[in-house]
Amino acid sequence: EAYTKLKDRLGRIPEPEDFEKYGTVDISKYFDKFGSYYNFLVKYEKDFKGNLTAPEQEIIGFISVKLTGGKRPEELMIIRDIVDGNLTNLRLSAYSDMIFKRLGRRENSAALLSAVRNLTNQFAKDSEKKKYEDCVFLKADSNGEYSASPEFVEMLNNAEFKKDVKQLINIGINNYRNNYSEPYKDTNFELYQKYTYEDVCL
C-alpha cells in the first residue's frame, strides 16, 4: 500500500532513495523481506523492466542486506571510492588514516581489515562465501595491496546497476550518519543501538 501511494504521488516507479525523501515506509523492509528492492520490483511491479545480470543482482542484494543499515560504513566508503573512480589501489596503512578522517571516527585498522575481508569474499562462514561468491569488490596483488575488482568495474558500465549501487551507498551512509556516527568513547559502537554478533565480531 505504501509503495502504491508513493508511486501514484510521483507518477513513476519510486527509486530506493525516494522512500526516505518523501517520508514513507522504511526501505529496509523491502530488503529484509525480498533481499533487495530490485527483487521486489521484479516480483510485483508489472511496469518494471530490470536488466541486471545474476551477479549484479547478487551484489545489489549483498549491499542491501549487509551494508545499508549503516553499522559498517567502511565497506560503503570503499565501494563509493571504486564507483567514483577514486580507488586505483589500496594500501591499508595509507588508506586507513584517510577513510577514518572522512568518517569522523578514530582510526581502527582492525575494522578496515575486516571491511577488506568482506569485500574480497573472505567471510568467516563458508555459507556466506558461497552465497555471495560474485560479491568481490577488491582483489589483492602479490605485494599485499588491493585494487578494484575488474569484474565489478565492468559491471559499473551498466548504468542501471551503477545507479542502484550509488543509491544504496547513499542510504547506508545516511543511516550511519543518523544512527551510528557518535560512538561511545574508545569504541566504534553507539550507545543504545542494537548490534548483532556479526556486527561486533567481523
Give 61-71 pLDDT, tens digit per residue.
999 999 999 88
Answer yes or no: are the C-beta atoms of 172 and 67 closer than 8 Å: yes
Confidence grade of residue 182 (pLDDT, cut at 50, 70, 90): low
DSSP state of 90: B
Name the pTM for this structure: 0.86
* Average model confidence (pLDDT) across the chain: 86
pLDDT-derived band at 191 (thresholds 50, 70, 90) equals very low
Residue whose C-alpha cell reads 547513499 in the numeric block: 170
Please list the residues that pair with 90 across neighbouring strands: 146
Most confident option among 61-70, 120-129, 175-184: 61-70
Cβ–Cβ under 8 Å, residues 146 and 94: no
Residue 66: CA count within 13 A, CB half-sphere: 20
pLDDT reported for residue 150: 93
Task: Locate 127 and state its grid cell.
Answer: 555459507
197 pLDDT more than 50: no
